[in-house]
Amino acid sequence: MDGYELFSQRAKAVKRSEIRELLKLAERPEVISFAGGFPDPATFPYKELAAIAQKVLLEDYERSLQYGATEGDRLFREAVCQWLRREGLELEREEIAVTSGAQQGLDLLAKVFLDPGDVVFCDLPTFLAAIQSFTAFQAEKVGIPQREDGMDLEILE
């Protein structure tokens, strides 16, 4: 018994991750990947990040090394609210959820809003992780071509 028969139907329906395959290619030294989310390391502000990490660890290690709230750090969410207010959007901290990346955010949105068979309109081309998230929740994906200013909404009419 290999355990496969214990998997849920959703888990059994999951296909190989295209992102994982892209990342394998990106590991090859002769490949410069524009698809795998690998910015040029020369652009990393590593000195600034090291200084920030040192400051946080020296001044707030008790809090910073503990598990945090699943919706994101309270102080960070408050800072996001302040920034949004300057941009003209009034939100409260409780209305903000911080994710570890776009893929986690899309997965949470799909989990909350999609039922099997729901239709999702996606840009053509679109983010590979979006396709994976929507597929996992059995949504029907419809590609909409892009124009210079975004999705061609006239097609939806």
**Can you spell out the DSSP letters for 21-86?**
HHHHHHTSTT---SSS----GGG--HHHHHHHHHHHHHHHHHHHTS---TT--HHHHHHHHHHHHH
Across the range 151-155, mean pLDDT stands at: 89
pTM of this structure: 0.68
57-80 confidence digits (pLDDT tens): 999 999 889 998 889 999 999 999
Res. 45 pLDDT band, cuts 50 70 90: very high
Q: What is the dihedral of CA 83, 86, 91, 95, to 10 degrees?
A: -20
Average pLDDT, the chain: 88
What would the mean pLDDT of 88-116 be, rounded to a whole number? 94
Question: Higher confidence at residue 147 or residue 9?
Answer: 147
Separation in Å, CA 152 to CA 12, 59, 93, 143, 146: 35, 50, 34, 10, 5
Reported confidence tier of residue 54, pLDDT bands at 50, 70, 90: very high
Q: Where residue 44 falls among pLDDT bands split at 50, 70, 90? A: very high
pLDDT at position 1 is 62
- Domain boundaries along the sequence of the chain: 4-66+99-156, 68-98
| pLDDT over 80 at 50, yes or no | yes
Please write the tens of the pLDDT for every residue from 126-143.
888 899 899 989 999 999
